[in-house]
Amino acid sequence: MINRKTFIESSMACAGLAASGSFVHAKSTTNIPAFLKGYETLYADDPRKAALMYFREAKFGLFVHYGLYSLLEAYWQGQHSKPSSWVQLRGKIRVKEYEKLAARFTAEKFDADFITDMALDAGMKYINLTTRHHDGFCLFDSKYTDFKSTNSPAKRDLVGELAEQCQQKGVGFYLYYSHGRDWRHPHAPNNHDWGGSARPDYDPPEESYKYGQEHDLQIYVEFMKNQITELLTNYGPIGAIWLDGIGTPASRKEKIPLFKTQELYDHIHSLQPQVLVSYKQGLLGTEDFKAPERKYDGSSEVPLELCDTLQGFSWGYDRQDENNHKSADQVMAMLDHAKTMGANLLLNTGPLPDGSVHPDDVKTLAEVGRRLRKSTEASVPSEP
């Protein structure tokens, strides 16, 4: 296994090259990300185009939704108008009450080695992890918040662990980050300016939030830029930044410029030029690919990724979905549908509270991998 200190130092060196522009102009492919091996010529000419070609050809990826919401299992009793990762909003759990969950977060069975092997065996080419969901809890060691996995009983940087395994095995590592919606940060978008789902509708109002003239969205915008900078400088080569929370800025289209989203995209590409950017169905139209949820029948002028979950409905673990996990037949049908759309399938698993992958999902993905290998073998012509 790569020494952690060596891995971080190597990652920082690569990020420094990217920031200086050396990645963009150098013809040498010495520092090519492991997942882009085989794309050396294209990478030397245009790193982002190489990453986009990799994405187009990948077809199949693993989504992992894991966080404090995984511990609550089914707080709002399975009323599936919103997935379980929305439990803080749906249950109107107070910020101080919700943050107590961090004291129970052990992630004792979160195994990055197992997750990457499982994904590869299933025929998946990339993994997307929820680095920070709408609740604000980070699975990485950010210096901009204490609300993080390294400050919990787990004392682990799960992003770093998965980054290391992906780099070792040549798996594309994509990072989910909640951008437009945040239920913890005092200066995050509020319901008054950005619609009713921006934050939980607390009564009486949440004391930790800023209101009126005290509220400054730009403090939050800078906070997000700082955290995304950490993700792109501390964890080695990244395949994509996958932003979520589009419903908030899209609810007030005339105010979208306040988020400085294009400036963020440009900053991302300056740090690591191969990194793709997605913002669900597309917020500005300058994203590298679209990633709508579940059913999507629209067209797309950029590459398309359909995301769905192995549970019946929820993204994070939900005990109410215990007997509704997708079968191999259902996943194969989802892959076929994605293929007809010319799209990738990003298939989600919501690890159990202890971080282990649900046994039903392990079984289904193993069978899907077996079928895909059999199909590939059958399509290869035999020698005369």
Rounded CA gap, 117 and 315, in Å? 21
Rounded CA gap, 29 and 23, in Å? 9
pLDDT range class, residue 4, cuts 50, 70, 90? very low
Q: Determine the 3-state secondary structure of 368 from DSSP.
A: helix
Structure confidence by residue, pLDDT tens digits, 220-232: 999 999 999 999 9
> In Å, what is the CA distance from 308 to each residue of 85, 284, 294?
14, 23, 5
Domains in the chain, please, with CATH? 4-372 (3.20.20.80)
Rounded CA gap, 336 and 378, in Å? 17
Q: Which among 63, 263, 20 has a CA at the least distance from the CA of 176?
A: 63
Q: Which among 253, 204, 245 has a CA at the least distance from the CA of 86?
A: 245
Lowest mean pLDDT among 12-16, 51-55, 66-70, 278-282: 12-16
Question: For 289-314, what is the mean pLDDT?
Answer: 90
Q: Which residue has the higher pLDDT, 317 or 31?
A: 317
Question: For 151-163, what is the mean pLDDT?
Answer: 98
Structure confidence by residue, pLDDT tens digits, 30-55: 589 999 999 999 999 999 999 999 99
| Pairing between β-strand 60-64 and β-strand 172-178 as defined by DSSP bridges | unpaired
CA dihedral 4, 10, 12, 18 (to 10 degrees): -150
> In Å, what is the CA distance from 52 to each residue of 33, 48, 130, 175, 316?
13, 6, 21, 15, 28
Buried b (16+ CB within 10 A) or exposed e, 100-109: ebbeebbbee
| Residue 322 predicted with pLDDT over 60 | yes
Q: Which among 326, 246, 333 has a CA at the least distance from the CA of 291?
A: 246
Mean confidence (pLDDT) of the chain: 89
| Residue 24 predicted with pLDDT over 50 | no
User: In the chain, what is the straight-line distance between the N-terminal and C-terminal CA atoms, in Å?
Assistant: 43
Residue 368 C-beta-side C-alpha neighbours within 13 Å: 30
Residues 6+ apart with CB under 8 A from 252: 193, 194, 195
CA dihedral 103, 109, 113, 119 (to 10 degrees): -100
Question: For 205-221, what is the mean pLDDT?
Answer: 96
In the chain, which residue ranges form alpha helices assigned H by DSSP?
A: 4-20, 22-25, 40-45, 47-58, 69-72, 87-90, 95-99, 112-121, 158-169, 191-194, 217-233, 247-250, 261-271, 328-340, 359-379
